[in-house]
Amino acid sequence: MEHLDYETLNTLKQVMEDDFNLLIETFTQDSTERLKKLQELIQGNDADLIRRAAHSFKGSSSNIGAQQLSALCAALEKKALAGELENLTVDVARIEQEFQLVLTQLDAFH
Amino acid sequence: MNDVRRLKILVADDTDTDRLILESIVRKEGHTVVSACNGLQAIEVYNAERPDIVLLDALMPELDGFGAARKIKELAGDELVPIIFLTSLSDTESLVQCLDAGGDDFLSKPYNRIILQAKIKSFNRMRELHSTMLTQRDQIVQYNNRLLQEQMVAKHVFDNVAHSGCLNANNVRYFLSSLAVFNGDVLVAAMRPSGSMMVLLGDFTGHGLPAAIGAMPLASTFYGMVPKGFSMTDILREINGKLKNILPVGIFCCAVMMDINFRKRKIKIWNGGLPDCFVHRHSDSSITPVKSTHLPLGVLSNRAFKDDCEYIELEKNDRIFVWSDGIHEARNAAGEMFGEARLKQVFANNRNQNRLFDEIIEGVQQFVGGGEKDDDLSLLEIRMDEPERVNAYAKEASDRFGNADIEWSMRFEVKPTSFKVFDPLPMLLNVLMEVPSLRGFSSTLYTILAELYTNALEHGVLKLDSGLKQTPDGFSEYYRLREERINLVGSGYVRINILHKTNENGGLLKVRIEDSGDGFDFANRSHDNLSAFGYSGRGIALVEKLCGGVKYSGRGNIAEVDFSWLKDD
């Protein structure tokens, strides 16, 4: 699976025109916050909050074409739903790693 | 690029990037966007902006999409506001939850522009369809209200024209829907000067206003003529003629008309097109049907109209039942009609005659079952009773007729100066026509008066010789002389005496005409020979035939006839 789906990105660029940069900026800020929130949440044990945060992150990254990132969030969402709260730091670390990669590739894209 | 008009679309999503993307897509399609970041805000914005379509994220802080959807649907009321849920949820339960909350569709992430465009288009079509439907529904409601209002006005007018007359008499029971006039049913009743009751139950073809229209002239003619003493056949003819002129072909009035004479305990009845009426005998509870033997009112021209009636003698407490076909044609849930057999069964099962009327209504209503389908029932029962127990009017008329015969007389003298310029006949006839029972004899009475007056004037006052008229030449000489003498006449008179007397069965009119002439030798006149008077005798022969004889007195200058008649009602 590619880190970025360029077809989605190209369509977005077409649709957003001048706002595309704003979209990427917003995504960067938004996701940075979401990541931070996730890191905090996994210190506690509220499975539902973790699930919801992962769910939203999954949605927004899929919209931007970050399919790998979306898939990692989906996996976390699934675990939280199942109540498996052990070793989530590993999952979130992977998500952070993937997010940095996506940012680099997005930067290169526009 | 798009054929959807500019819409206002609410985008509610708490994820900034998702909202940004959606806003851009929607704006690109040419629509206006209003946005919200959570459920509560979505409701606020909806209220303030009234968007056409709502795009709602399922999971949002404050109030989630489900709650917001419920509230927005509630606020929208009758209007259709399509709600499309934005979701990356994919389990069945969540999707069902979206629909339960009033969602109309889903749009899953990542967003696909083409699909969103198609959904907006199709929901807008649905929205417009719905709004057209609402407009039409409102129009229908409005039309219906107007129709009902018009019907109420029409009913009001009709109620004034066709008031229930004397239906409140003690011997009358009737059942009629309050809006019967719009079912085409009409029931009118009035007292005649003689104290008998005249009733007409009519059933116009069709429903609604067209059926009600004919009831107006029918009722106004009925109430105009009955109190003046016109005979039933005159009234029937008048109504028939009016309806025939007014109503379009195919609309007519099946009717039963009755003249109920309480003094003689007789009913005169005419049935044109209504189901058989039943005469129910008090003594043995038997029923005799009175069949329709005529076409309905308003079908035939008055020339072809038949007004022959049936006469039925009734005992006290015998009853007559008249109905429109609403009873016979009342249907039950299975579509069966009540029919005459069931109606007869009601009579057969009856134990208390005072309950018959109620048992008929109950029988039909039980047969029909639930619902208000008895709107078309029209039923009338008239019981034979003593006049004084019917109503005050019948009592008063009965006293008048029973105890004192009506008797009056008048004298009228024509003097010399009037002979040339004044014909007393129209005036005399006018007076006689004020007597209701004489109206049917107007031409006969005219003949009698005209012949007697002419004889008195020409042979008596003017002393013309009737022998002159035996030859054609003499005939013209006669009229020359008549002209000459009438211009010169300076003395003489014709005195007309009319005596009117009624009795139980009819009446007698005595007409006595005296002139100032020399008279003639009436004792030697041949009675059996109608040609005795030659040309001039024809008139007198006719009078003799009509009155059963002419009596002469004095010196032959007084002629007297008796004209008697029998009332047919």
Task: Tally Cβ neighbours within 10 Å of residue B196.
Answer: 26
B101 vs B112: CA distance, rounded Å: 24
CB contact under 8 A, B109 and A63: yes
Determine contact, residues B74/B64, Cβ cutoff 8 Å: no
pLDDT of res. B532:
41
Nearest CA of chain A to the CA of B37: how many Å? Answer: 13
By Cβ distance, the residue of A15, A59, A65 closest to B25 is A15
Query: In chain B, whose CA is at the least distance from the CA of A27?
Result: B17
pLDDT confidence of residue B49: 92
More confident residue, B527 or B364: B364
CB of A27 within 8 Å of a chain B CB? The answer is: yes
From B24's Cα to the closest Cα of chain A, the distance in A is: 6
Query: Is A13 in the B-facing interface, judged by CB distances under 8 Å?
Result: no
- The CA-atom distances, in angstroms, between B155 and each of B29, B202, B219, B235 are 58, 17, 13, 24
**Nearest chain A alpha carbon to B18:** A60
Chain segment A22-41, per-residue pLDDT in tens? 888 889 998 999 899 989 99
Cβ-Cβ contacts under 8 Å between A and B: the total is 52
User: H/E/C letters for each residue in A16-58?
Assistant: HHHHHHHHHHHHHHHHHHHHHHHHHHCCCCCHHHHHHHHHHHH
Distance from CA of B150 to the nearest CA of A (A): 59
CB contact under 8 A, A26 and B17: yes
Per CB-CB distance under 8 Å, the chain A contacts of B25 are: 15
- Average pLDDT of span B123-141: 91
- pLDDT class of B349 with cuts at 50, 70, 90: very high
* Closest residue on chain A to B21 (Cα): A16
Tokens of B55: 């795009």
For the cut 80, the answer to whether the pLDDT of residue B82 exceeds it is yes
Percent pLDDT > 70 in chain B is 93
State the pLDDT confidence band at B205, using cuts at 50, 70 and 90.
confident
Q: What is the mean predicted confidence (pLDDT) over B29-40? A: 91
Q: What is the mean pLDDT of chain B?
A: 86
B21, B93, B116, best to mutate vs chain A, most A CBs in 10 Å: B21
pLDDT at res. B512: 95
Contact B110 A8 (CB under 8 A): yes
pLDDT digits (tens, 9 = 90+) for B260-299: 999 889 999 999 999 999 999 999 999 999 999 999 999 9
The answer to whether the Cβ–Cβ distance between B110 and A22 falls below 8 Å is: no
Q: Tell me whether B109 touches chain A (CB under 8 Å).
A: yes
For position B538, what pLDDT does the model report? 59
Is residue A2 within 8 angstroms of chain B, CB to CB?
Answer: no
Contact call for residues B406 and B502 (beta carbons, < 8 A): yes
A6-109 maps to which CATH number?
1.20.120.160
Taken in order of first residue, the domains within chain B and their CATH numbers are: 8-133 (3.40.50.2300), 162-391 (3.60.40.10), 404-566 (3.30.565.10)
Q: pTM surpassing 0.80?
A: no
Q: Compute the nearest-CA separation of A33 from chain B (Å).
A: 12
Q: Which of B 48-87 lie inside 8 A of A, CB atoms?
A: 59
Domains in chain A: boundaries:
6-109
Strands (E), B325-458: 378-383, 407-414
Q: Please write the tens of the pLDDT for every residue from B486-544.
A: 988 888 999 999 999 887 778 889 999 999 988 887 777 655 444 444 445 557 788 88
Whether the per-residue pLDDT at B400 is higher than 70: the answer is no
ipTM: 0.80
Compute, in degrees rounded to 10, the torsion defined by CA atoms B126, B132, B137, B143: -170
- The 3-state DSSP class for residue B290 equals strand
Instruction: Read off the pLDDT of residues B314-331 as tens digits, 9 standing for 90 and up.
Output: 999 999 999 988 888 888
Helix (H, G, I), strand (E, B) or coil at B201: strand
